[in-house]
Amino acid sequence: MSSASCPALFISAPGSGHGKTTITAALARFHVEQGRTVKVFKSGPDFLDPMILERASGQPVYQLDLWMTGKTQCRQLIHQAANEADLILVEGVLGLFDGNPCSADLAELLNIPVMAVIDCKGTAQTTAAIAYGLANFRKKLPFAGILANSTASARHEEMITEGFSNDIKYLGSIPRKLNISLPERHLGLVQANEVNDIDARLSNAAQAIAMTKLAELPPSVTFHRPEIEPAPKLLAHVRIGIACDAAFSFIYQANLDLLQSMGATLIFFSPLNENTLPEVDSLFFPGGYPENYIDSLQQNQSIKQSIKDHYQSGKPIYAECGGMLYLLETLQDKRGNKGKMVGLLPGSAIMQNKIQGLGYQSVSLPKGILKGHTFHHSLINTQLSELTTGVRLYNTSPGEKVFLAKRLLASYLHLYFPSNPKATAHLFLP
């Protein structure tokens, strides 16, 4: 078993909304601007945060998830990064101890010290008590220190530091007046390519990092390479067309890597901007924000017909969440704007004001079980009977329905392909 060492830091917080993504992105951009190669990972099944982190680091961002990804692949991905990077950053999910498994579980598994971001609005000396709890709740958890976010003034920071002892390292503060937070909407942060001044925002945030102790590289951590079987070449010579643009962008990098490692050729196309499909054997429509582009998607009659021709020829199509909405007959946004979509699946989708599906699920498909998650704000109305139903990790309600029409498989689930390569290959085999 080989090993590799690299400076590494795990960025967490007492809960959501403390600024983990902004600070992680700022850290990445700061060290990139110093000429370093920075590899960033996101804990949990998130799509939007990794887009920001990829823009900040200039490197692909992978998910680390103890249930969905599994311990072995988490170790493998980190070991590979340690061979290529000058710095590894891992952004946690929710609060440090929220969920089962939680961010702390992942930090302990990888032995990466945790730096807690604490939004200090409305607190002063109590910040030290929060930091003490995070550092000492688990005695074996490696803890690097805390960063005070959104401090109001020099006096506010002075009050914050009054509560700290030498037991917990105070790494500095980010003043509120810098206003480095990133814009949000209903599924989370706005996609990086939709923020016009994203690079200016990231550079400003990086300048704030320069004024803290985080400008120094953290200590190195040694990572061991686990034994892992190579993916079978089940997709040799298969050409997979993948919808990829502002409307369809929720794609795990690990999914793309797996398809290529199984021999597939990946060809990206845009249902928003292109008039016809490329020459492909299979199609993949990932999730995204089709509801924000109803008019453009409706008006592109040419590519809709090209997709229908692919379907009628009996070729495979796999669609998840937003990709599935696009293949229905109609899609309606929250304002009542309604458009005609491709129409391969009977029925319609209507966007809702509240979240309609959330959480980890697994699904049993003809060639095995795949793991994934669901997160959507729409409801669909269809006469189509389900092929099967997802099973929730925590069985609090029914899982998502999975639909099959000819060779089209569709559901709200975002599947993590490396959880079962053989079952994944069957989705795309002609």
Q: What is the pLDDT of residue 194?
A: 59
205, pLDDT greater than 90? no
Q: Residue 395: its pLDDT value, please?
A: 74
Q: Is the pLDDT of residue 284 over 90?
A: yes
Q: pLDDT value at position 237? A: 95
Q: How many CB atoms lie within 10 A of CB 29?
A: 25
Residue with tokens 């029925």: 347
Looking at 84-98, 189-203, 399-413, which range is the least confident one?
189-203
Q: What is the pLDDT of residue 198?
A: 76
Which residues are known catalytic residues? 321
Beta-carbon contacts of residue 353 (< 8 Å; ≥ 6 apart): 334, 377
Higher-pLDDT residue of 197 and 355 is: 355
- pLDDT exceeds 60 at position 334: yes
Mean pLDDT of 292-300: 97
**What is the mean predicted confidence (pLDDT) over 263-268?**
98
Average pLDDT over residues 100-113: 97
Span 98-103, mean pLDDT?
94
pLDDT at 232 over 60: yes
Structural domains in the chain? 3-224 (3.40.50.300), 239-428 (3.40.50.880)
Contact status, residue 360 vs residue 413, Cβ threshold 8 Å: no
Cα gap 406→415, rounded to integer Å: 20
One-letter amino acid of 275 = N
How far apart CA 319 and CA 140 sit, in angstroms, is 42
- CA angle, 231 then 235 then 240, to 5°: 120
The residues, any chain, with a CB within 8 Å of residue 378's CB and separated by 6 or more, are 291, 325, 349, 350, 351, 352, 356
Quick: pLDDT tens for 158-179: 999 998 887 899 999 999 887 7
Among the ranges given (195-199, 297-301, 393-397), the one the predictor scored with the smallest mean pLDDT: 195-199
Strand pairing partners for 285? 319
Band the pLDDT of 36: cuts 50, 70, 90. Answer: very high
What one-character DSSP code corresponds to residue 100?
S
Tokens 């009628």 sit at which residue? 312
Q: What is the mean pLDDT of residues 306-329?
A: 98
